Structure 1
């Protein structure tokens, strides 16, 4: 039932929105797969270094990076949908309250009707405010859980790749140290600004 079909004489309940459930996003699945590939890679003969298909790992990581902004956009869309639902509920509650006040002014002698309408309007407002708090908490928990999960996965992946690179570089000459200026330029190039989406 939509709010456009709302009929105060036949239905006193508002539809409950679907609960937000944390589920694995595509980029998280790809990152988990990459970690599994690195973690379960067979060792090279006579060595403890893992044998990893570099092209496959790079392709998976690039795919995860491409999908991550889409999942952030989806989270923003969920926030926007939640706000629109709350705004619509608030407008309807205000309309109910306004209608109750007009009825009270026109029909002073029927105070019971006016009281019932105001009570109903207040219940609707209270329910909308409670729903607002619940949706806000669920959305914040969902986003925090997703971002925390991404952070943990990226950290694990970074450590796993660094360990793999260290194992592969045993016996080879270490790379020359980078200057501070080149490190700062690289950091600036790698910075991801979600507001640009």
Structure 2
């Protein structure tokens, strides 16, 4: 992988850097290090980039679910107010409004749970892919160091 070569470059820069007298600190060219880090970011596996997208997607799905739930509750309250205005159907309206609110709450809960399960499954899948990438990186580093 090209990323390993870039990491090796960073190690070389640090190892070959001039040392600060009377300390274990090294003076490195920050522009050179930052350029290598930028290159590493460009070459990171898609799974790492997708993790950020999944996090944002989870937030969007949950916000959408909450918005849908709020709209359903608002519609239910509006219908309830309309029914209450008629004296002869007040009792029926109250029962119907409770039904609508319960249904709306159940629907909102199902939407939220579904969104959370979907986001969790995406995060789990990404986590597993990242584990594989980390294992591969560790194995490659061991191989570079001559360890088996």
* Range class of TM-score, shorter chain: 0.5 to 0.7
CA deviations on 1:25-75 (whole Å, 9 max, x unpaired) are xxxxxxxxx4xxxxxxxxxxxxxxxxxxxx58536x924438566423312
Structure 1 segments (4+ residues) deviating >4 Å: 66-69
Q: What is the distance in 1 between the residues matched to 2:69 and 2:62?
A: 10
CA deviations on 1:6-25 (whole Å, 9 max, x unpaired) are xxxxxxxxxxxxxxxxxxxx
With the length of structure 2 as denominator, give the TM-score of the two structures: 0.59
SS of the equivalent of 1:109 reads helix
Q: Which runs of 5+ in 2 are unaligned?
A: 7-38
Q: What is the distance in 2 between the residues matched to 1:89 and 1:143?
A: 24
Query: Aligned-residue CA RMSD in angstroms?
Result: 3.0
Is 1:127 the equivalent of 2:74?
Answer: no
1:90 to partner: Cα distance: 1.9
Is 1:80 the equivalent of 2:59?
Answer: yes
Question: How many pairs are equivalent?
Answer: 113
From the two aligned structures, give the one with the greater helix fraction: 2
Is 1:90 the equivalent of 2:62?
Answer: no
Q: Which runs of 5+ in 1 are unaligned?
A: 1-33, 35-54, 168-197
With the length of structure 1 as denominator, give the TM-score of the two structures: 0.47
Q: 1:78 to 1:56 in 2, by over 3 A?
A: closer
